[in-house]
Structure 1
Amino acid sequence: MRFMVFVRSSQPLASLHHDALLRAGVLLDAGDLVPNVCGVSGYWLIDVRTHEEAVERVRRIPVSACVVEIRQVAVV
């Protein structure tokens, strides 16, 4: 299952958890979005077995002050 993970944080996304997702082999794509008044935003596209696994991987982000949204991607 593929999930798009949107993250808003005061730190650049790449420094948060990018390397761990890459080493785990679940990261398909990642990028930083244009900063706005809420801080730095970015996304990860991950491929995991279940929604629960996606949530668990996101919980490992080493920053407590970030906003995360996880949305399943429809594969056509």
Structure 2
Amino acid sequence: MRFMVFVRSPDPLAALHTDALERGGVLLDAGDLVPHACGVSGYWLIDVRNREEAVERVKRIPLPACVVEIRQVAVV
């Protein structure tokens, strides 16, 4: 299943912490969003077994003072 993870942070570099997702082989794409003033500094697209795995993998990433939103990507 694919999930989009939105990173909301005052730090524009917060969304760049993708090492753990890359090492785990689940990161499909990541990017920075402009402008940061809208509150979302970036996104990750990951491919995992289920929502629980998505949550567990995101929890392992050091994201101080960040809010993340995890949304399942619809299969078309």
Q: How many residue pairs are counted as aligned between the two chains?
A: 73
Matching of residue 56 in structure 1 with residue 56 in structure 2:
yes
1:39-69 CA-to-partner distances (Å, cap 9, x unmatched) read x610000000010000001111212310100
Secondary structure of the structure 1 residue equivalent to 2:33:
strand
Identity %: 75
Unaligned 5+ segments in structure 2 are: none
Structure 2 distance, partners of 1:43, 1:68, is: 9
Unaligned 5+ segments in structure 1 are: none
Q: Which amino acid aligns with 1:67?
A: V
Q: So what's the TM-score if we normalise by structure 1? A: 0.86
Aligned-pair CA distance for 1:11: 4.6
**Is the strand fraction higher in 1 or 2?**
1
Secondary structure of the structure 2 residue equivalent to 1:36:
helix
The change in CA–CA distance for 1:8 and 1:28 in structure 2 (over 3 A counts) is same
Aligned to 1:19: 19
Aligned to 1:71: 71
Q: So what's the TM-score if we normalise by structure 2? A: 0.86
